[in-house]
Structure 1
Amino acid sequence: MRAALRRRLLVATQTDALAVLHDGIWSTRCLHCRSALQVRDDGEPLGLATLEHVVPQAWFGRRAAAALTAQVGDDADDPRNLALACARCNHDKGKGHDARGPGDVRAREVVEALLATRLSRWRDPMDAPAR
Protein backbone atom coordinates (compact mmCIF):
# COMPACT_ATOMS: atom_id res chain seq x y z
CA MET A 1 0.00 0.00 0.00
CA ARG A 2 1.25 3.48 -0.86
CA ALA A 3 2.64 5.55 1.99
CA ALA A 4 0.31 8.47 1.16
CA LEU A 5 -2.76 6.26 1.54
CA ARG A 6 -1.48 4.83 4.83
CA ARG A 7 -0.96 8.40 6.11
CA ARG A 8 -4.54 9.37 5.18
CA LEU A 9 -5.90 6.20 6.84
CA LEU A 10 -3.94 7.01 9.98
CA VAL A 11 -5.17 10.62 10.01
CA ALA A 12 -8.77 9.44 9.58
CA THR A 13 -8.30 7.04 12.48
CA GLN A 14 -6.51 9.45 14.82
CA THR A 15 -9.19 12.10 14.33
CA ASP A 16 -12.04 9.66 15.02
CA ALA A 17 -13.26 10.10 18.60
CA LEU A 18 -14.40 6.46 18.65
CA ALA A 19 -10.93 5.14 17.78
CA VAL A 20 -8.96 3.50 20.58
CA LEU A 21 -5.27 2.54 20.38
CA HIS A 22 -4.22 -0.70 22.09
CA ASP A 23 -0.98 -2.63 21.50
CA GLY A 24 -0.26 -0.83 18.23
CA ILE A 25 -3.75 -1.42 16.77
CA TRP A 26 -6.42 1.25 16.40
CA SER A 27 -9.99 -0.03 16.76
CA THR A 28 -13.02 1.95 15.62
CA ARG A 29 -16.32 1.56 13.76
CA CYS A 30 -17.43 1.89 10.12
CA LEU A 31 -18.92 5.31 9.47
CA HIS A 32 -21.93 3.65 7.78
CA CYS A 33 -22.82 0.37 9.50
CA ARG A 34 -20.73 0.64 12.68
CA SER A 35 -19.00 -2.72 12.13
CA ALA A 36 -15.67 -3.09 13.91
CA LEU A 37 -12.59 -1.95 11.97
CA GLN A 38 -8.89 -1.97 12.76
CA VAL A 39 -5.84 -0.10 11.50
CA ARG A 40 -2.24 -0.67 12.58
CA ASP A 41 -0.48 2.30 14.15
CA ASP A 42 1.53 2.72 10.92
CA GLY A 43 -1.70 3.25 8.93
CA GLU A 44 -1.92 -0.23 7.41
CA PRO A 45 -5.59 -1.31 7.33
CA LEU A 46 -6.47 -4.68 8.80
CA GLY A 47 -9.33 -6.77 7.50
CA LEU A 48 -12.00 -4.79 5.68
CA ALA A 49 -11.01 -1.24 6.73
CA THR A 50 -10.94 1.24 3.84
CA LEU A 51 -10.54 5.00 3.48
CA GLU A 52 -13.82 6.81 2.91
CA HIS A 53 -14.00 10.28 1.39
CA VAL A 54 -17.25 11.32 3.06
CA VAL A 55 -17.98 13.98 0.45
CA PRO A 56 -16.91 12.19 -2.75
CA GLN A 57 -13.77 13.49 -4.41
CA ALA A 58 -15.66 13.93 -7.69
CA TRP A 59 -18.09 16.34 -6.02
CA PHE A 60 -15.40 18.93 -5.26
CA GLY A 61 -15.61 21.96 -7.54
CA ARG A 62 -19.28 21.25 -8.35
CA ARG A 63 -21.72 24.01 -7.52
CA ALA A 64 -24.39 21.59 -6.26
CA ALA A 65 -21.96 20.34 -3.59
CA ALA A 66 -20.51 23.71 -2.56
CA ALA A 67 -22.24 23.80 0.84
CA LEU A 68 -20.96 20.32 1.66
CA THR A 69 -17.41 20.84 0.47
CA ALA A 70 -17.16 24.13 2.35
CA GLN A 71 -17.64 22.18 5.60
CA VAL A 72 -14.40 20.30 4.93
CA GLY A 73 -12.27 23.14 3.62
CA ASP A 74 -12.79 22.57 -0.09
CA ASP A 75 -10.14 19.81 -0.08
CA ALA A 76 -11.18 16.20 -0.61
CA ASP A 77 -8.25 15.00 1.54
CA ASP A 78 -9.00 17.33 4.46
CA PRO A 79 -9.04 15.18 7.62
CA ARG A 80 -12.66 16.20 8.30
CA ASN A 81 -13.60 14.52 5.02
CA LEU A 82 -11.71 11.29 5.71
CA ALA A 83 -13.21 8.41 7.65
CA LEU A 84 -12.98 4.67 7.91
CA ALA A 85 -15.59 2.48 6.31
CA CYS A 86 -15.81 -1.25 5.75
CA ALA A 87 -15.12 -2.29 2.19
CA ARG A 88 -18.76 -3.26 1.54
CA CYS A 89 -20.21 0.07 2.67
CA ASN A 90 -17.55 2.10 0.87
CA HIS A 91 -18.10 0.16 -2.36
CA ASP A 92 -21.89 0.46 -2.12
CA LYS A 93 -21.70 4.23 -1.57
CA GLY A 94 -19.30 4.58 -4.50
CA LYS A 95 -21.47 2.75 -6.98
CA GLY A 96 -24.68 4.35 -5.71
CA HIS A 97 -24.74 7.75 -4.09
CA ASP A 98 -21.31 8.97 -5.21
CA ALA A 99 -22.05 8.06 -8.82
CA ARG A 100 -25.41 9.87 -8.90
CA GLY A 101 -23.71 13.13 -8.00
CA PRO A 102 -24.59 16.09 -5.81
CA GLY A 103 -27.55 17.06 -8.00
CA ASP A 104 -29.41 13.94 -6.83
CA VAL A 105 -31.46 14.81 -3.74
CA ARG A 106 -31.16 11.37 -2.10
CA ALA A 107 -27.41 11.18 -2.75
CA ARG A 108 -26.92 14.61 -1.19
CA GLU A 109 -29.05 13.62 1.85
CA VAL A 110 -26.94 10.49 2.43
CA VAL A 111 -23.67 12.40 2.15
CA GLU A 112 -25.00 15.17 4.44
CA ALA A 113 -25.92 12.57 7.07
CA LEU A 114 -22.54 10.84 6.80
CA LEU A 115 -20.72 14.15 7.06
CA ALA A 116 -22.73 15.08 10.15
CA THR A 117 -21.76 11.74 11.69
CA ARG A 118 -18.11 12.23 10.79
CA LEU A 119 -18.04 15.74 12.24
CA SER A 120 -19.78 14.53 15.42
CA ARG A 121 -17.02 11.93 15.81
CA TRP A 122 -14.26 14.50 15.19
CA ARG A 123 -11.28 14.52 17.54
CA ASP A 124 -8.52 17.08 17.22
CA PRO A 125 -5.34 15.28 16.15
CA MET A 126 -3.50 16.86 19.09
CA ASP A 127 -5.89 15.02 21.44
CA ALA A 128 -5.27 11.58 19.89
CA PRO A 129 -3.43 8.98 21.99
CA ALA A 130 0.29 8.75 21.24
CA ARG A 131 1.48 5.91 19.06
Structure 2
Amino acid sequence: MRPALRRLMLLAAHTDAQAALADGLWTTRCLHCRRTLRLRADGEPIGATSLEHVIPRAWFGRRAAAALTARVGDVPDDARNLALACARCNQDKGKGPDARGPSDARAFAVVATLLEARLARWRPPPACDRGDAALSGRDG
Protein backbone atom coordinates (compact mmCIF):
# COMPACT_ATOMS: atom_id res chain seq x y z
CA MET A 1 0.00 0.00 0.00
CA ARG A 2 1.22 3.49 -0.86
CA PRO A 3 2.64 5.48 2.06
CA ALA A 4 0.34 8.42 1.26
CA LEU A 5 -2.74 6.19 1.62
CA ARG A 6 -1.43 4.74 4.89
CA ARG A 7 -0.98 8.31 6.21
CA LEU A 8 -4.57 9.19 5.29
CA MET A 9 -5.86 6.04 7.00
CA LEU A 10 -3.91 6.94 10.12
CA LEU A 11 -5.27 10.47 9.94
CA ALA A 12 -8.81 9.03 9.89
CA ALA A 13 -7.99 6.85 12.93
CA HIS A 14 -6.27 9.64 14.89
CA THR A 15 -9.27 11.93 14.44
CA ASP A 16 -11.99 9.34 15.16
CA ALA A 17 -13.15 9.61 18.78
CA GLN A 18 -14.32 5.98 18.61
CA ALA A 19 -10.91 4.68 17.50
CA ALA A 20 -8.55 3.25 20.09
CA LEU A 21 -4.91 2.19 19.75
CA ALA A 22 -3.87 -0.87 21.76
CA ASP A 23 -1.11 -3.40 21.20
CA GLY A 24 -0.14 -1.85 17.88
CA LEU A 25 -3.67 -1.94 16.41
CA TRP A 26 -6.27 0.75 15.91
CA THR A 27 -9.81 -0.52 16.44
CA THR A 28 -12.94 1.39 15.45
CA ARG A 29 -16.28 0.87 13.75
CA CYS A 30 -17.39 1.32 10.14
CA LEU A 31 -18.99 4.74 9.67
CA HIS A 32 -21.89 3.05 7.85
CA CYS A 33 -22.70 -0.34 9.37
CA ARG A 34 -20.75 -0.23 12.68
CA ARG A 35 -18.72 -3.38 11.81
CA THR A 36 -15.49 -3.63 13.82
CA LEU A 37 -12.48 -2.47 11.81
CA ARG A 38 -8.77 -2.76 12.48
CA LEU A 39 -5.74 -0.89 11.24
CA ARG A 40 -2.11 -1.54 12.12
CA ALA A 41 -0.26 1.26 13.91
CA ASP A 42 1.69 1.92 10.67
CA GLY A 43 -1.57 2.54 8.77
CA GLU A 44 -1.81 -0.82 7.00
CA PRO A 45 -5.46 -1.93 6.92
CA ILE A 46 -6.43 -5.32 8.27
CA GLY A 47 -9.21 -7.30 6.61
CA ALA A 48 -12.00 -5.23 5.08
CA THR A 49 -10.87 -1.83 6.44
CA SER A 50 -10.87 0.89 3.77
CA LEU A 51 -10.54 4.66 3.56
CA GLU A 52 -13.82 6.53 3.05
CA HIS A 53 -14.01 10.04 1.66
CA VAL A 54 -17.32 10.97 3.28
CA ILE A 55 -17.99 13.64 0.66
CA PRO A 56 -16.82 12.03 -2.59
CA ARG A 57 -13.72 13.61 -4.11
CA ALA A 58 -15.64 14.11 -7.39
CA TRP A 59 -18.14 16.37 -5.60
CA PHE A 60 -15.52 18.98 -4.72
CA GLY A 61 -15.74 22.07 -6.90
CA ARG A 62 -19.39 21.36 -7.79
CA ARG A 63 -21.86 24.07 -6.89
CA ALA A 64 -24.51 21.58 -5.72
CA ALA A 65 -22.09 20.24 -3.08
CA ALA A 66 -20.70 23.61 -1.92
CA ALA A 67 -22.62 23.61 1.36
CA LEU A 68 -21.15 20.22 2.28
CA THR A 69 -17.60 20.75 1.07
CA ALA A 70 -17.33 24.06 2.92
CA ARG A 71 -17.79 22.10 6.17
CA VAL A 72 -14.55 20.23 5.51
CA GLY A 73 -12.50 23.14 4.22
CA ASP A 74 -13.11 22.49 0.51
CA VAL A 75 -10.30 19.89 0.52
CA PRO A 76 -11.14 16.21 -0.19
CA ASP A 77 -8.33 14.87 2.02
CA ASP A 78 -9.17 17.11 5.01
CA ALA A 79 -9.29 14.97 8.15
CA ARG A 80 -12.95 15.87 8.71
CA ASN A 81 -13.78 14.23 5.37
CA LEU A 82 -11.91 10.99 6.05
CA ALA A 83 -13.28 7.97 7.86
CA LEU A 84 -12.65 4.27 8.07
CA ALA A 85 -15.32 2.07 6.54
CA CYS A 86 -15.60 -1.57 5.61
CA ALA A 87 -14.87 -2.21 1.96
CA ARG A 88 -18.42 -3.40 1.24
CA CYS A 89 -20.09 -0.24 2.57
CA ASN A 90 -17.50 1.96 0.86
CA GLN A 91 -18.04 0.23 -2.49
CA ASP A 92 -21.83 0.34 -2.14
CA LYS A 93 -21.67 4.08 -1.48
CA GLY A 94 -19.49 4.48 -4.56
CA LYS A 95 -22.09 2.72 -6.71
CA GLY A 96 -25.01 4.65 -5.20
CA PRO A 97 -24.89 8.17 -3.73
CA ASP A 98 -21.37 8.97 -4.95
CA ALA A 99 -22.25 8.06 -8.52
CA ARG A 100 -25.57 9.93 -8.57
CA GLY A 101 -23.85 13.19 -7.62
CA PRO A 102 -24.77 16.08 -5.35
CA SER A 103 -27.65 17.24 -7.56
CA ASP A 104 -29.60 14.11 -6.62
CA ALA A 105 -31.56 14.98 -3.45
CA ARG A 106 -31.35 11.46 -2.00
CA ALA A 107 -27.59 11.19 -2.65
CA PHE A 108 -27.05 14.62 -1.08
CA ALA A 109 -29.09 13.58 1.99
CA VAL A 110 -27.14 10.32 2.42
CA VAL A 111 -23.78 12.08 2.23
CA ALA A 112 -24.95 14.88 4.54
CA THR A 113 -26.05 12.27 7.12
CA LEU A 114 -22.70 10.49 6.87
CA LEU A 115 -20.88 13.79 7.28
CA GLU A 116 -22.88 14.49 10.46
CA ALA A 117 -21.90 11.05 11.76
CA ARG A 118 -18.24 11.69 10.96
CA LEU A 119 -18.25 15.12 12.57
CA ALA A 120 -19.94 13.66 15.67
CA ARG A 121 -16.98 11.27 15.95
CA TRP A 122 -14.41 14.04 15.38
CA ARG A 123 -11.48 14.62 17.69
CA PRO A 124 -8.56 16.90 16.91
CA PRO A 125 -5.28 15.13 16.16
CA PRO A 126 -2.83 14.97 19.09
CA ALA A 127 -0.86 18.19 19.61
CA CYS A 128 2.36 16.55 18.41
CA ASP A 129 0.67 15.73 15.09
CA ARG A 130 -0.87 19.13 14.39
CA GLY A 131 2.21 20.38 12.56
CA ASP A 132 2.43 17.27 10.37
CA ALA A 133 1.01 17.98 6.90
CA ALA A 134 -0.15 14.37 6.55
CA LEU A 135 -2.21 14.64 9.73
CA SER A 136 -3.58 18.09 9.00
CA GLY A 137 -5.26 17.01 5.79
CA ARG A 138 -3.00 19.20 3.65
CA ASP A 139 -0.03 18.29 1.50
CA GLY A 140 3.27 19.94 2.54
TM-score normalised by structure 1 residue count = 0.96
CA gap of 1:6–1:19, structure 2 versus 1, over 3 A, is: same
Matched with 1:92 is: 92
Quick one: distance in 1 between partners of 2:113 and 2:36? 20
The one-letter amino acid paired with 2:56 is P
Quick one: distance in 1 between partners of 2:123 and 2:26? 14
Identity rate of aligned residues, in percent? 68
Per-residue CA distance 1:75-110 (angstroms, 9 max, x = gap):
000000000000000000001100000000000000
Aligned length: 128
Matched with 2:124 is: 124
The one-letter amino acid paired with 1:6 is R
Quick one: distance in 2 between partners of 1:127 and 1:22? 19
Quick one: distance in 2 between partners of 1:127 and 1:74? 23
Quick one: distance in 1 between partners of 2:116 and 2:126? 21
Matched with 1:81 is: 81
Quick one: distance in 2 between partners of 1:57 and 1:74? 10
2:36 aligned with 1:36: yes
Quick one: distance in 2 between partners of 1:38 and 1:46? 5
Quick one: distance in 1 between partners of 2:37 and 2:127? 21
Quick one: distance in 2 between partners of 1:97 and 1:66? 16
* Shift of residue 126, structure 1, vs aligned partner: 1.4
Gaps of 5+ in 2: 129-140
RMSD: 1.1
* Shift of residue 65, structure 1, vs aligned partner: 0.1
* Shift of residue 127, structure 1, vs aligned partner: 6.6
Quick one: distance in 2 between partners of 1:60 and 1:94? 15
Quick one: distance in 1 between partners of 2:127 and 2:104? 37
